[in-house]
Amino acid sequence: MFITFEGPDGCGKSTILEEVYKNLMNLDVPVIKTREPGGTRISEKLRNIILDEDNKELTAVTESLLMAASRSQHVEELIIPAINEKKIVLCDRFVISSLVYQGYARDLGIDKILKLNEFATLGIKPDMILFFDVSEKNLLDRRKKRNTSDRLEKEKVDFHKRVYKGYNYIKEKFQEDDNFHIVDANKGISEITSYCISIILDNYRRKK
């Protein structure tokens, strides 16, 4: 089962992914965790190029292609083999992130980025997309407490506003899809973790 965690920087998805991972390990469920951009040796190298704050001249199109290249390597080398071994794959970000950041916030167009990613992912789709829905106020409060360290996190406030709008646009567009699950990320860590585990195990048992 392939499960992706999506949401803006500071929504809490990486913390929850870690909690879900630990809980599933304790239940002896076969599970791995990974992230994008990154997840394999080559994809992590691409991640370093993408997030390096010295790479200020990186164009939007190049950024979208590097994201897709990182994803493609990740899908073939790690995600597909793990799915074939019947593991649950927890992935921090996937195609939705490219639709929002490159398609919407960088204004390259959602449809164009969707097509690029169909090619990059060999057509595989997540069985579950956990969409972390958080109020803009909570997001800003949480982000103030973090050290902003990479090129994308250091983008101007305006860019992050567009990212937030992009997530809302994507929510409207995909919320009726069977694999799209909205997670109320305004709640506390333990409540969000329990909710995610219950819907994951529900789906897992139905698929088994």
**Distance in angstroms (rounded) separating the CA atoms of residues 44 and 35:** 9
Shortest Å, Cβ 187 to ligand TMP? 20
8 A C-beta contact, residue 91 and residue 39: yes
Largest CA distance in the chain: 48
Find how far residue 65's CA is from the centre of its chain: 17
Contact pattern for ligand TMP over residues 30 through 69, marking x by CB under 6 A: -----xxx-----------------------------x--
Contact pattern for ligand TMP over residues 67 through 106, marking x by CB under 6 A: x------------------------xx---xx--xx----
Question: Residue 100 burial by CB count (10 A; 0-12/13-18/19+): exposed, middle or buried?
Answer: buried
8 A C-beta contact, residue 10 and residue 142: yes
* Single residue of 9, 19, 127, 133 touching ligand TMP by CB under 6 A: 9
User: Judged by CB, which is closer to ligand TMP: 105, or 200?
Assistant: 105
User: Residue 76 is encoded by which pair of tokens?
Assistant: 């073939």
152 binds ligand TMP (CB under 6 A): yes
Question: Residue 115 burial by CB count (10 A; 0-12/13-18/19+): exposed, middle or buried?
Answer: exposed
User: Judged by CB, which is closer to ligand TMP: 102, or 121?
Assistant: 102
User: Judged by CB, which is closer to ligand TMP: 22, or 146?
Assistant: 146
Shortest Å, Cβ 155 to ligand TMP? 8
Binding interface with ligand TMP (CB under 6 A)? 9, 35-37, 67, 92-93, 97-98, 101-102, 152-153
